[in-house]
Amino acid sequence: MHPPPVGFFSARVFFLCRYLGLMAALLGGGNALAAAAASDLVAAGQLRLQSQRLAKLYLQAGLQIQTESARSQLQKATQQLESALAELAPYGRQGRTAPSLARAQGLWSELRPALRAPYSPQALQRVLAVSDDLMLVSGKLSLLIEEQTEGSVGRLLDLSLRQNMLAQRLARFYLMGVAGDRSQGRQVDAEQARREFTVALGELASARGNAAAVKEALELAQTQWLFFDQALTGGGSGAGSDQQSLARNVATTSERIAEVLDDVSRQYAQAYGSTQVAAAPGGPRRN
């Protein structure tokens, strides 16, 4: 069986966001609110995810690692981020969320031209700085939207969406090392992201009442995490073609785990508003 094309699940989850929005308009009462909340969480999760994925893809193309594929994915990811911003436009009229959304829109107006600039160390630093700011404000927006939901599934959905951002962030840190960043700060940030990812993956897997489809998707995510983690820890200190081969492995596995994690989020989005998932422990939250 051939794997789905790269970006297949990401597009599917985003279209699910649109589908849930339509269902919110058609349904009444609590079902409509649940569908709308799931749609909004997915859109906010897309902002957070693409902030790190776009930076990774810019770096990947600049390092000439599967260059054409990276450029193509960069264009598609740009479209997904802009669609997510459009989906979240109503939050610009709400007092609590309006500042965060306005900040996200402003940061995107800075990041978009930065991503089009020719690759250079200075251009890369600009992309990395703005993408991190966008990640933080998107995380705040996600949390504000999640606070409007009821039950545990909204939190689990947001947590699963955050996992995808962390995976892309880990790949970005790896490629920064390939680009010559040997700083202690990068290594500390990468280890922290890895630790947060493994803890959250365990929390998702242990959530009481996970539906069968959720469990199946999480099992696949745990397997794919082993491959991705192996790629991340398989080296990177080599030279020439060996280093390029290792970097290609990280780039490829980071996209594959994105597909699998998108499927996890899809299952939680579909479960949202039901009683399939019991209350999850409320651990500390980060953007």
Any idea which of 31-35, 149-153, 194-198, 248-252 has the lowest mean pLDDT? 31-35
207: left (phi over 0), alpha (psi -120 to 50) or beta: beta
Q: Is 225 helix (H, G, I), strand (E, B) or coil?
A: helix
274 pLDDT band, cuts 50/70/90, is: low
Residue 243 pLDDT: 87
Higher pLDDT, 32 or 67: 67
Residue 14 pLDDT: 55
Cα–Cα distance for residue pair 31/29, rounded to 1 Å: 6
Cα–Cα distance for residue pair 190/167, rounded to 1 Å: 10
Residues 158, 146: contact at Cβ < 8 Å?
yes
Cα–Cα distance for residue pair 63/55, rounded to 1 Å: 12
Any idea which of 6-15, 147-156, 165-174, 260-269 has the lowest mean pLDDT? 6-15
Over range 51-80, report the average pLDDT.
97
Domain ranges of the chain: 9-271
Does 30 score more than 80 pLDDT?
no
Residue 242 pLDDT: 80
Q: Is 116 helix (H, G, I), strand (E, B) or coil?
A: helix
Any idea which of 34-48, 49-63, 118-132, 152-166 has the lowest mean pLDDT? 34-48
What are the tokens at 245?
A: 């081969």
Cα–Cα distance for residue pair 186/66, rounded to 1 Å: 23
**pLDDT digit string, tens, across residues 152-173:** 778 899 999 999 999 999 999 9
Residues 98, 91: contact at Cβ < 8 Å?
yes
Residue 74 pLDDT: 98
236 pLDDT band, cuts 50/70/90, is: very low
Cα–Cα distance for residue pair 124/287, rounded to 1 Å: 22
Does 182 score more than 60 pLDDT?
yes
Higher pLDDT, 13 or 158: 158
What's the one-letter identity of residue 160?
A: S
Helix axis angle for 29-62 and 8-26, nearest 10°, is 160
Long-range CB contacts (< 8 A, 24+ apart) of 98-101?
100/137, 100/140, 100/141, 100/144, 101/141
Alpha helices in 147-239 (DSSP H): 153-178, 184-206, 212-233
